[in-house]
Structure 1
Amino acid sequence: MAPRALWKGQLRLSLVSIPVEVYSATDSSAKVSFRQIHAPSGKRVRYEKTVPGIGPVKSDDIVKGWETDDDQIVLLDPDEVDAIKLETRKTFELVQFVGSCEIPPIWFDRPYYLVPSDDLAEDAYRVVRDALRASGKTGLGQITMRGKEYLAAVRPCGDGLLMETLHYADEIRASDALFQQIEDDPADPDLLEVATSLIERKTAPFDATAFKDSYSAALQALLESKRKNKKTRRVPAGDGDDAPQGENVVDLMAALKQSLKAEGGRKKPAKKKAS
Structure 2
Amino acid sequence: MAARAYWQGQIKLALVSIPVEVYPATRSGATISFHQIHEPSGKRIRYEKVAPGVGPVDPDEIMKGFEVSKGNYVLLDDEEIEAVKIESRKTLELVQFVDASEIDVLYYDKPYFVVPADDLAEEAYVVLRDALRQSRKVGLGQLSVRGREQLVSIKPCGRGIVMEVLRYADEVHKAQGYFRDIEDKKPDEDLLDLATALIDKKTAPFKPAEFHNRYVEALQRLIDKKRKAHSSKRILEDVEEPGRGGGNVIDLMAALKKSVGSEGKAPPRKPTARKTTPAKAAPRRKSA
Structure 2 distance, partners of 1:178, 1:26, is 30
Structure 2 letter corresponding to 1:128: L
Structure 2 distance, partners of 1:177, 1:212, is 33
Query: Pairwise mapping of residues 190-205 of structure 1 onto structure 2 (< 5 A)?
Result: 190-205=190-205
1:55 is aligned to: 56
Structure 1 letter corresponding to 2:195: A
Query: Pairwise mapping of residues 48-87 of structure 1 onto structure 2 (< 5 A)?
Result: 48-52=48-52, 53=54, 55-58=56-59, 60-68=60-68, 72-84=72-84, 86=86
Is 1:46 aligned to residue 46 of structure 2? Answer: yes
Query: Pairwise mapping of residues 224-263 of structure 1 onto structure 2 (< 5 A)?
Result: 224-227=224-227, 229=228, 231-232=230-231
2:181 is aligned to: 181
Give the drift of 1:110.
1.6
Contact 1:51 1:57 in 2 (8 A): no
2:123 is aligned to: 123
Structure 1 distance, partners of 2:135, 2:115, is 20
- CA offsets, 1:9-58, max 9 Å, x none? 22222222233333222222633333333333333333444333252332
Structure 1 residues 187, 27: closer, same or farther in 2, change over 3 A? Answer: same
Residue 199 of structure 1 aligns to a residue in which SS? Answer: helix
1:158 is aligned to: 158
Structure 2 letter corresponding to 1:57: D
- CA offsets, 1:54-93, max 9 Å, x none? 52332x5444333336874323333333333646643222
Contact 2:97 2:140 in 1 (8 A): yes
Look at both structures and tell me which one has the larger radius of gyration over its CA atoms: 2
2:139 is aligned to: 139
Query: Pairwise mapping of residues 163-174 of structure 1 onto structure 2 (< 5 A)?
Result: 163-174=163-174
Structure 1 distance, partners of 2:62, 2:14, is 42
Give the drift of 1:230.
5.4
Listed as ranges, the gaps of 5+ residues in structure 2 are 233-288
Contact 2:7 2:21 in 1 (8 A): yes
Structure 2 letter corresponding to 1:56: V
Structure 2 letter corresponding to 1:178: Y
Aligned length: 231
Structure 1 distance, partners of 2:101, 2:88, is 26
2:277 is aligned to: none
Structure 1 residues 26, 116: closer, same or farther in 2, change over 3 A? Answer: same
1:22 is aligned to: 22
1:114 is aligned to: 114
Give the drift of 1:201.
2.1
Structure 2 distance, partners of 1:18, 1:167, is 25
Structure 2 letter corresponding to 1:209: A
Structure 1 distance, partners of 2:37, 2:146, is 31
Give the drift of 1:145.
3.2
2:92 is aligned to: 92
- CA offsets, 1:226-273, max 9 Å, x none? 44x15246xxxxxxxxxxxxxxxxxxxxxxxxxxxxxxxxxxxxxxxx
Structure 2 distance, partners of 1:57, 1:94, is 47
Give the drift of 1:113.
2.0
- CA offsets, 1:114-153, max 9 Å, x none? 2333344333322222222222211111123343221111
Q: Which has the higher contact order (CA 8 A, sep 6+)?
A: 1
Structure 1 residues 158, 33: closer, same or farther in 2, change over 3 A? Answer: farther
Structure 2 distance, partners of 1:50, 1:135, is 59
Structure 1 distance, partners of 2:81, 2:229, is 53
Contact 1:97 1:138 in 2 (8 A): yes
Is 1:35 aligned to residue 28 of structure 2? Answer: no
Structure 1 residues 57, 111: closer, same or farther in 2, change over 3 A? Answer: farther
- CA offsets, 1:174-209, max 9 Å, x none? 222321111101111221121122222222333222
Contact 1:8 1:21 in 2 (8 A): yes
Which TM-score applies when normalising by structure 1? Answer: 0.72
Identity between Structure 1 and Structure 2 (%):
54
Residue 196 of structure 1 aligns to a residue in which SS? Answer: helix
Give the drift of 1:6.
2.5
Structure 1 residues 50, 112: closer, same or farther in 2, change over 3 A? Answer: farther
